[in-house]
């Protein structure tokens, strides 16, 4: 029986993949499998994965004929996974030796649907610890209780799929798949659905996953149209939360987070290609207009003056029904 499946998408990361693969080798166990998904890489990544299939115990390689993005690659891994527990890793990140076994043992002892973990952010030689924004550790909790309050950072603002472990019953309930085709913010609807619909969770103070930042090919570093998928992702969060029995309590948090992300992108709009920047403005304006007006007003009243002013101005921006920018604007 496979106890743990670790799903690892790769796309053009030949520089970093050796570190990732070495870390998988240092976590190998007879009842673990590592599902490596090559998302149609065009560099030497595919060759590295072929060698890993022969050299690392438990490795299974799946290959896409066309690039589908991180969400689609993770779904390919989920469809192939046989483990009782599931975990994620990105193809340019890595694990500490023995991390998977320790994470699994502590999760099994708690018996909950999923756990969330702290992580180490690696930028060059710098290492910083980033913690799940919830103080109670090593006890079983109701995931819905970790969504609020709206005005503070909570577990849904820590969306990293790889910072945790998930029982297979969540996969069987349809809670672990990602929205196919999302190129960025794919983990936002995912983490919200998990916290709304799973029955139990815990936060573990365990370090062993290293998240590499500053990678030039990462979408966080690229200002092209793929970045705008955050709008589709957060529209999904709003739509699904609106249908929740506790929508009146949860929606202000979803709207506030959406507004904060829009403000973040607008504050660094110069990193986008000019055409993408124009589209960002018009799509963001249209998104603000789709939000429940009274709740949006209340959220903007609670935000700092600089961001609230930017968002109110953006909300008034003329747009066509399609979301395209008005030529005279």
On whether residue 328 sits in a domain, the answer given is: no
Extract the tokens encoding 315: 């909300």
Task: Choose among 58, 38, 39, 40: nearest CA to 50.
Answer: 38
Q: Return the pLDDT at 327.
A: 36
Q: Return the pLDDT at 221.
A: 47
Same domain? For 60 and 175 the reply is yes
Buried b (16+ CB within 10 A) or exposed e, 166-178: bbbebbeeebbeb
On whether residue 102 sits in a domain, the answer given is: yes
CA-to-CA dists, residue 225 to 9, 207, 266, 272, 279, angstroms: 21, 34, 14, 8, 9
Answer for the pair 161, 88: CB distance below 8 angstroms, yes or no: yes
Q: 11: which DSSP letter?
A: S
Q: Which domain holds residue 247?
A: 223-315
Q: Return the pLDDT at 74.
A: 98
Dihedral sign computed on CA atoms, order 226, 232, 236, 238: positive
Same domain? For 307 and 182 the reply is no
Question: Which of 215, 247, 270 is the last residue before a domain boundary?
Answer: 215
Extract the tokens encoding 187: 């983990």
On whether residue 305 sits in a domain, the answer given is: yes
Q: Return the pLDDT at 224.
A: 77
Same domain? For 232 and 198 the reply is no
CATH number for the domain that contains residue 12 = 3.90.550.10
Same domain? For 235 and 194 the reply is no
- State the CB neighbour count (10 A cutoff) for residue 292: 16
Q: Tell me which residue has tokens 């969540």.
A: 170
Q: Return the pLDDT at 214.
A: 82
The CA distance from 72 to 69, in Å, is 6
Overall number of domains in the chain: 2
Q: Return the pLDDT at 223.
A: 61
Answer for the pair 314, 267: CB distance below 8 angstroms, yes or no: no
Same domain? For 165 and 248 the reply is no
Same domain? For 261 and 239 the reply is yes
Same domain? For 203 and 244 the reply is no
Same domain? For 194 and 280 the reply is no
Q: Return the pLDDT at 324.
A: 47
Question: Which of 215, 246, 279 is the last residue before a domain boundary?
Answer: 215
The pTM (predicted TM-score) of the whole model is: 0.92
The CA distance from 287 to 259, in Å, is 9
Quick: pLDDT tens for 170-219.
999 999 999 998 999 999 999 999 999 999 999 999 999 999 998 655 55
Backbone angles phi, psi at 186, to 5 degrees: -65, -25
The CA distance from 44 to 207, in Å, is 30
On whether residue 321 sits in a domain, the answer given is: no
Same domain? For 251 and 209 the reply is no
On whether residue 327 sits in a domain, the answer given is: no
Same domain? For 241 and 149 the reply is no
Same domain? For 120 and 228 the reply is no
Low pLDDT (below 50) residues in the chain: 220-221, 322-329
Q: 157: which DSSP letter?
A: G
Question: Which of 215, 241, 263 is the last residue before a domain boundary?
Answer: 215
On whether residue 17 sits in a domain, the answer given is: yes
Same domain? For 42 and 85 the reply is yes
Quick: pLDDT tens for 138-151.
999 999 999 999 99
The CA distance from 75 to 89, in Å, is 13
On whether residue 270 sits in a domain, the answer given is: yes
Share of the chain above pLDDT 70, in %: 94
On whether residue 325 sits in a domain, the answer given is: no
């Amino acid at each position: 029986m496979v106890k743990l499946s670790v799903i690892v998408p790769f796309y053009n990361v030949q520089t970093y993949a050796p570190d990732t693969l070495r870390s998988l080798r240092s976590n190998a166990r007879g009842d673990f499998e590592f599902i490596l998904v090559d998302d149609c890489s065009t560099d030497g990544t595919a060759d590295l994965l072929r060698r890993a299939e022969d050299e690392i115990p438990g490795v299974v390689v799946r290959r896409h004929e066309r690039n589908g993005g991180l969400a689609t690659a993770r779904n390919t891994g989920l469809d192939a996974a046989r483990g009782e527990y599931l975990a994620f890793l990105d193809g340019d990140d890595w694990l500490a030796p023995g991390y998977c076994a320790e994470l699994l043992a502590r999760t099994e002892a708690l018996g909950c649907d999923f756990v969330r973990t702290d992580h180490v952010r690696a930028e060059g030689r710098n290492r910083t610890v980033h913690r799940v924004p919830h103080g109670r550790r090593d006890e079983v909790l109701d995931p819905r209780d970790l969504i609020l309050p709206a005005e503070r950072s909570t577990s849904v603002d820590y969306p990293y799929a790889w910072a945790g472990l998930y029982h297979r019953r969540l996969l069987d309930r349809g809670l672990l798949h990602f929205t196919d085709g999302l190129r960025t913010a794919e983990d936002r609807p995912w983490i919200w659905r998990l916290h709304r619909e799973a029955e139990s969770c815990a936060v573990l103070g365990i370090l062993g996953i290293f998240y590499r930042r500053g990678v030039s090919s990462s979408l966080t570093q690229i200002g092209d149209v793929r970045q705008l998928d955050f709008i589709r992702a957060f529209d999904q969060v709003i739509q699904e939360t609106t249908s929740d029995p506790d929508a009146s309590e949860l929606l202000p948090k979803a709207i506030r987070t959406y507004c904060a992300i829009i403000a973040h992108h607008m504050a660094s709009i110069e990193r986008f290609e000019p055409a993408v920047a124009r589209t960002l403005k018009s799509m963001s304006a249209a998104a603000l207009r789709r939000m429940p007006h009274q709740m949006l007003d209340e959220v903007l009243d609670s935000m700092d003056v600089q961001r609230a002013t930017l968002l109110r101005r953006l909300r008034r921006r003329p747009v066509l029904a399609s979301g395209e920018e008005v030529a005279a604007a």
